[in-house]
Amino acid sequence: GNSVTQMEGPVTLSEEAFLTINCTYTATGYPSLFWYVQYPGEGLQLLLKATKADDKGSNKGFEATYRKETTSFHLEKGSVQVSDSAVYFCALGLNTGGFKTIFGAGTRLFVKA
Amino acid sequence: DTEVTQTPKHLVMGMTNKKSLKCEQHMGHRAMYWYKQKAKKPPELMFVYSYEKLSINESVPSRFSPECPNSSLLNLHLHALQPEDSALYLCASSQPTREINTIYFGEGSWLTVV
């Protein structure tokens, strides 16, 4: 089946630390891959996306590369800020007779000053 | 600012009430979605409308009834809900093109069933 697996949180980092959140997927066909971020009390915002193998998505200092050979889409940021504290969801998008986005369980990030 | 607008932001309803959640987008998207999100969980897909027709129903109980009056509007009618239906309900939209496209979420409606 189609699924997304993320590293469990919470992840706690100090400001300016390096961030990696691992994400792997299982999918039939050729999915697009996304990272969404959810700040407390809010809906989801698209952070970045990649639509085919070897594409790199980037936004606000975050990056992720679509690795078909390892079925991965790990999120990285070189220097986190307190304002990056949120829940991060990895997701895949498929056209299966309708457009489905399947989310991972989410990883909560706390950044301390 | 999100371009998908949901109302109300908060709703408290009794188990015998009938209420509706509303969603509007003006991005010209022709696919619209309802998701349900429980605390500390990922969003779960409920319904997908494509060109104003229901294309996916993820075996949602009939006490939830979606409606898509036109390409900009999506409603979720609620009747005889249970306390376990309390959750954040997220509306989203996208272009239903052949290529997978990004879905854009509203900020959600917080529903409490008492």
| CB of A82 closer than 8 Å to CB of A111 | yes
Q: Is the CB of A40 inside 8 Å of chain B's CB atoms?
A: no
Q: Give the contacts of A69 (CB within 8 A, at least 6 positions apart).
A: none
pLDDT in tens, A66-105: 999 999 999 999 999 999 999 999 999 887 666 788 899 9
Q: Is the pLDDT of residue A18 over 70?
A: yes
The confidence score (pLDDT) of residue A9 equals 86
Q: Is the CB of B104 inside 8 Å of chain A's CB atoms?
A: yes
Are B41 and A99 a contacting pair at CB < 8 A?
no
Exposure on the CB side of residue B104, measured as CA atoms within 13 A: 19
Q: Is the CB of B57 inside 8 Å of chain A's CB atoms?
A: no
pLDDT band at B100 (very low <50, low <70, confident <90, very high): low
| CB of B106 closer than 8 Å to CB of B4 | yes
Q: Is the CB of A83 inside 8 Å of chain B's CB atoms?
A: no
Chain A nearest-CA residue for B50: A98
* Residues, chain A: 113
The confidence score (pLDDT) of residue B34 equals 96
Question: In the structure encoding, which two tokens stand for residue A61, read together?
Answer: 């200092």
| CB of B94 closer than 8 Å to CB of B104 | yes
Secondary structure string (H, E, C) spanning A45-86:
EEEEEECCCCCEEEECCEEEECECCCCECCEEECCCCHHHCE
Q: Is the pLDDT of residue B1 over 90?
A: no
The DSSP 8-state label assigned to residue B84 in this structure reads: G
Give the phi and the psi of residue B6 in degrees, each rounded to 5.
-120, 140
Q: Helix (H, G, I), strand (E, B), or coil: what is residue A82?
A: helix
Mean of the per-residue pLDDT values of chain A = 92
Q: Which residues of B touch A32 (CB under 8 A)?
A: 99-101
Residue type, B108: G
Q: Which residues of B touch A104 (CB under 8 A)?
A: 42
Q: Give the contacts of B59 (CB within 8 A, at least 6 positions apart).
A: none
pLDDT band at B19 (very low <50, low <70, confident <90, very high): very high
> Taking Cα atoms as reference points, which of B15, B14, B12 lies closest to residue B80?
B15
Residue written as tokens 């009056």? B69
Quote the percentage of chain B above a pLDDT of 70: 93
Q: Cα–Cα distance between B3 and B10 in angstroms, integer?
A: 19
Q: Is the CB of B2 inside 8 Å of chain A's CB atoms?
A: yes
pLDDT in tens, B27-72: 999 999 999 999 889 999 999 998 999 988 999 999 999 999 999 9
pLDDT band at B99 (very low <50, low <70, confident <90, very high): low
Question: In the structure encoding, which two tokens stand for residue A98, read together?
Answer: 């309708």
